Structure 1
């Protein structure tokens, strides 16, 4: 199953990047006509559908493309290849990239920046959380030694994973790591009984938790991970005045999407989850309840950056990144004023 999941992910990414290539050709034509195209990669199809349903992204002064690219690792690849201008990942993604880079980005220009983040503070179903199977006899983080843990690389799920190890006093060599292409694949392997533990969200493993086969052992708050999503871009995007204007406009609207539209339109949100993601009414309500708590926050906040530095240090301690570096330079507050107005 693991190999099939990886192959499927690669095929989907190839198709998506091909579509992005077509979009790039269209973007060239539109650039000649004086219109800017902003290509914004999302990980699941509900996001573009929700943006459309909100009505907040109509009559834009630029063309918005929203390819669906599953998983943070694929989003990173799409951004580096310039198939996208902005990508939805984790708030920690750029920091992990900096910690694994050949050169020290604190002394050179970062290759990618985190420019915005959204989190659901006080959400009823916090994520990322650690779930364990009762049959695996895991009653504490230390009991994870020798156990199999599913996760995906690159985002807040990976942040939760490395913090689990660091908090347990373990490294990647002390467990059986099972890296899968995205959060959904990792959760599916846990639900199928193929691994002992997983870092994910409740909605993805609801069936085995509700049946009593699995329990939640730690939440994102326990692990010191903010959770939610982060948004990354490249330096060349921010240096392009037209692209930057489009990015700022997008996040102004995106902030209103989460603070005003989403929490006040439960029926419309759940309709998208049910029609696009094929979720049951019960599951769509769970996801709406979590999402209704979501708000954007300031990337330039020193407390936020301190937390991210601690996560990178924990990842290094657990053997999850190559270097323990100063990663503050990857957090660019260029859209803070747009996304989190005073």
Structure 2
């Protein structure tokens, strides 16, 4: 479906809340907690108009503003400029956030480190191996042309982040173990991995697509390059502290948000240039050339409508991490609140109806 686009009115400075200090929202919800909702009970459709949902999802925030889909949210949104697993989890623990947007690893580590969470929506890349979220950056002068060449190399490794899980999946695909390489534990923050590669602290590091252009611009002339990881790294999810889905008012608002979020995913696919300008250029500070390249590199997305295969693949990831990082076994299926599963299907059906009307 091609959604209508109203005149552009993105005004980030005028949004309800833009968090500068990470946890400025703590205790600022301003509304009383809703009635207790048992996890076996249906999520209500009625949303009291004074309900507040605190959301850490900057990319969707921009997409909703650009498309006008934010008008479909019948509750108050307090947007938090928070993204990434560690910051989102810290915000959950500070009671500063109701829902965050992250890759598949943070919900697992939330559970392993004592924060009970539920996954309420997920999206994937339509052609994930052709459009990886990460590429493997290879330091100048290091000979790595395929995954087998990783043997004996120093590889940047962040156990609690998606990048760390990617490294373990890559080793598994290459038929290597942790003993075959030298894992150098470094948290992936900003351009830390780029600098670690440039200084030869590591030979190889997983780089998000936003970091690939600056890495190559700095070091390609000296022989640096990237290779594809060859494994799926595309799952992206909305998740929330369990107490959020146990609050009837917030749960109802969250269900509506997942529906509009699903519409935003489609809108971005259909308006890549507008999204690239609004988010990657104006919000993230990339050049227009890099923004366009990034949108093309990441590819189109789709919302997961039936969760069975998703849960099975997520379980395989959890089992790999449990085995390789000596974590407790985890029943991933218990993390998915399947009451939210029909929301994406409803949004998809509405899109199809709108496209044919």
TM tier, shorter chain?
0.7 to 0.9
C-alpha distance in structure 2 between counterparts of 1:250 and 1:178, whole Å = 36
Structure 1 residues 90-111: Cα deviation after superposition (integer angstroms, max 9, x where no partner): 123223444x357xxxxxxx81
Compute the displacement of 1:116 (Å). 1.3
1:38 aligns with 2:45: no
Compute the displacement of 1:274 (Å). 1.2
SS at match of 2:50: coil
State which structure, 1 or 2, has the greater radius of gyration over its C-alpha atoms: 2
TM-score w.r.t. the length of structure 1 is: 0.78
Pick aligned residue for 1:227 from 225, 234, 239: 234
> Contact 1:71–1:181 (CA<8 Å) still a contact in 2?
no
1:313 aligns with 2:326: no
C-alpha distance in structure 2 between counterparts of 1:187 and 1:253, whole Å = 35
**Corresponding position of 1:214:** 224
Compute the displacement of 1:334 (Å). 2.4
SS at match of 2:327: coil
Pick aligned residue for 2:64 from 26, 33, 51: 51
Compute the displacement of 1:135 (Å). 1.7
SS at match of 1:27: coil
C-alpha distance in structure 1 between counterparts of 2:155 and 2:298, whole Å = 26
Check 1:49–1:152 CA distance in 2 against 1; reply closer, same or farther (3 A cut).
farther
Pick aligned residue for 2:338 from 324, 333, 337: 333
Pick aligned residue for 2:79 from 66, 77, 83: 66
C-alpha distance in structure 2 between counterparts of 1:137 and 1:143, whole Å = 7
Structure 1 residues 157-192: Cα deviation after superposition (integer angstroms, max 9, x where no partner): 332122123344322894232322536543454356
C-alpha distance in structure 2 between counterparts of 1:66 and 1:171, whole Å = 40
1:324 aligns with 2:308: no
Structure 1 residues 168-225: Cα deviation after superposition (integer angstroms, max 9, x where no partner): 4322894232322536543454356543211133341124447363333333xx32x3
SS at match of 2:320: helix
**Corresponding position of 1:205:** 212
Which structure carries more helix by proportion?
A: 1
TM-score w.r.t. the length of structure 2 is: 0.75
C-alpha distance in structure 2 between counterparts of 1:176 and 1:267, whole Å = 38
Pick aligned residue for 1:112 from 111, 117, 127: 117
The count of aligned residue pairs is 310
1:87 aligns with 2:97: no
Structure 1 residues 4-54: Cα deviation after superposition (integer angstroms, max 9, x where no partner): xxxxxxxxx99211x212xx33524899x9611101113xx5542332112
**Corresponding position of 2:286:** 279
> Contact 2:307–2:341 (CA<8 Å) still a contact in 1?
no
> Contact 1:157–1:183 (CA<8 Å) still a contact in 2?
no
Q: Which is further off, 145-154 or 234-243?
A: 145-154
C-alpha distance in structure 2 between counterparts of 1:147 and 1:288, whole Å = 31
| Cα-Cα RMSD | 3.1
1:301 aligns with 2:307: yes
C-alpha distance in structure 2 between counterparts of 1:334 and 1:157, whole Å = 30
Compute the displacement of 1:72 (Å). 0.7
